[in-house]
Amino acid sequence: MSDTLQQVKEVIADVLKIDVDNVTLETRFIEDLKADSMDQFFLIDGFCEKFDINISDDEARSIQTVQDAITYIESKQ
């Protein structure tokens, strides 16, 4: 498992208070993890803090899955 994936899972676990053992690259934040708009805000904020990056509102809207988050984060590092 990539380091980025592990760190993304840590943010998801912290924000959504869930066990992330079954979270995969294809996991969707809204449909699969039942994240509401506030959860999504805190996820994006968590990613920004964890990876020391900035994610604009427009860019945040395109982050729908774990893979989307990893792809975006790795493109900014």
> Of the candidates 18, 56, 11, 59, which has an alpha carbon nearest to the alpha carbon of residue 71?
59
pLDDT of the residue at 77: 86
Please tell me the pTM assigned to this model: 0.92
* Domain extent for 69: 3-76
Domain containing residue 15: CATH number: 1.10.1200.10
Mean residue pLDDT across the chain = 95
User: Per the structure, how many domains does the chain have?
Assistant: 1
1 pLDDT band, cuts 50/70/90, is: low
2 pLDDT band, cuts 50/70/90, is: confident
Q: Are 73 and 8 in contact (CB under 8 A)?
A: yes
d(CA 1, CA 42): 24
d(CA 54, CA 20): 24
Residues assigned a catalytic role:
36
